[in-house]
Amino acid sequence: MALKPDSYVVLNDGYKMPVIGFGTYAPDTYTKEQALESTKVAIEAGYRHIDGAFLYRNEVQVGQAIRSKIADGTVKREEIFYTGKLWGNNQAPERVRIGLEKSLKDLQLDYLDLFLIHFPVEFKPGDDLFPVDENGKLIFHNTDIRETWKAMEACRDAGLVRSIGVSNFNRRQLELILNMPGLKYKPVCNQVECHIFLNQSKLLEFCKSQDIVLVGYSVLGSSRVKGGVDQDSPKVLEDPILNTVAKKLSRSPAQVAMRYLLQRGIVALAKSFTPERIKQNFQALDFKLSDEDMKSLDEVNKNLRYLSIHPWKESPKYPYHDEY
């Protein structure tokens, strides 16, 4: 696939999604000011796809960065592709629009380019993002995901979002939506963890067969947040095969890790709040891996998921009990 800095995939609803996205989730060790400055650097470096979420608690700053780059003439609003996400406390149909409007208000934008159900797992409806009972246990909820989807469709019909999709769904959960009676809009994408250690070949094949784009997150191996990610797990960017390929091509391991996904038709998100790395990662677009390199990277797969989120396993909607 020949990729250029403005390369995009055409979604099943006709809108275009740039193939590299700038990730805005950052652990608490980073400041909100860094989210603001880094998003500006990303737009200056050429990123047009920005991945955010209400959960990341920085949509105020990310929105400010986007608007400032529009105001100074670097980009037009229609050139930016912003993704927002509905958190699990807002999956009850009557709360979906409330969740969306909170993001729009924080961002100070009139519409989102893409709105995703962030995770199939649902929590008790309300303003609390992680509601717990008197014993400190998370309170799960179980709205039929098809009801949530109908409310997502209504947000699209209201002109508040251009495209709608899902994130962290397994095949069965995707099929629930695809097969629902009266489906108006198919999900345009499924955003899932995807990298050389979890290459998602089966889910990718299924998504392609349904004209659903697979968007990969934690492509560089995630921020490895303590308590969330097993600190003993191997690191993507230190993998010997990845490093051998990178060295041969005089590229960075991060660029090769991203390029591996791009050449398989996956949209790659990458987060960095370091200006040099932000620029470096965007240059995953200007080189090519040979079939042989792709094959050797295929073999690195270990079905290793960094973000399994074990405390959510008790939810009836936990997605990772299934093989894919």
Which phi and psi (to 5°) does residue 93 adopt? -50, -40
| Binding of residue 17 to ligand NDP (CB under 6 A) | no
Residues paired with 117 in a beta bridge: 86, 166
Give 56 or 134: the residue with its C-beta nearer to ligand NDP.
Answer: 56
3-state secondary structure of 42: helix
| Burial of 89 from C-beta contacts in 10 A (0-12 / 13-18 / 19+) | buried
Nearest Cα residue to 119 out of 158, 139, 91: 91
Place of tokens 């014993």: 135
**Contact stretch for ligand NDP (CB under 6 A) within 92-100, 175-183, 264-272, 310-318:** 264-272
Q: Which of 17, 18, 20, 23 binds ligand NDP (CB under 6 A)?
A: 23
**Contact stretch for ligand NDP (CB under 6 A) within 102-110, 149-157, 180-188, 276-284:** 276-284
In this structure, the number of other CB atoms found within 10 A of the CB of residue 311 comes to 13
- Looking only at the bridges linking them, the beta strands covering 112-117 and 161-167 are parallel
CB of 222 to ligand NDP, least distance (A): 4
Residue closest to ligand NDP (Cβ): 23
**Contact stretch for ligand NDP (CB under 6 A) within 20-28, 86-94, 106-114, 286-294:** 20-28
- 21: left (phi > 0), else alpha (psi -120 to 50), else beta? beta
| Binding of residue 203 to ligand NDP (CB under 6 A) | no
User: Which tokens is 112 given?
Assistant: 């989102």
| Binding of residue 91 to ligand NDP (CB under 6 A) | no
CB of 73 to ligand NDP, least distance (A): 26
| Binding of residue 167 to ligand NDP (CB under 6 A) | yes
Binding mask 31-70 for ligand NDP (x = CB under 6 A): --------------------x-------------------
| Binding of residue 272 to ligand NDP (CB under 6 A) | yes
Catalytic residues: 56
Residues paired with 198 in a beta bridge: 195
Give 183 or 237: the residue with its C-beta nearer to ligand NDP.
Answer: 237
In angstroms, the CA 259 to CA 241 distance is: 14
Q: Which of 148, 281, 283, 315 binds ligand NDP (CB under 6 A)?
A: 281
In this structure, the number of other CB atoms found within 10 A of the CB of residue 63 comes to 23
Nearest Cα residue to 239 out of 287, 298, 308, 280: 298
| Binding of residue 241 to ligand NDP (CB under 6 A) | no
Q: How many residues bind ligand NDP (CB under 6 A)?
A: 29
CB of 181 to ligand NDP, least distance (A): 28
Q: Which of 12, 210, 280, 308 binds ligand NDP (CB under 6 A)?
A: 280
CB of 217 to ligand NDP, least distance (A): 3
Contact in structure between 232 and 283 (CB atoms under 8 Å): no
Q: Which of 39, 90, 148, 191 binds ligand NDP (CB under 6 A)?
A: 191
In angstroms, the CA 210 to CA 203 distance is: 11
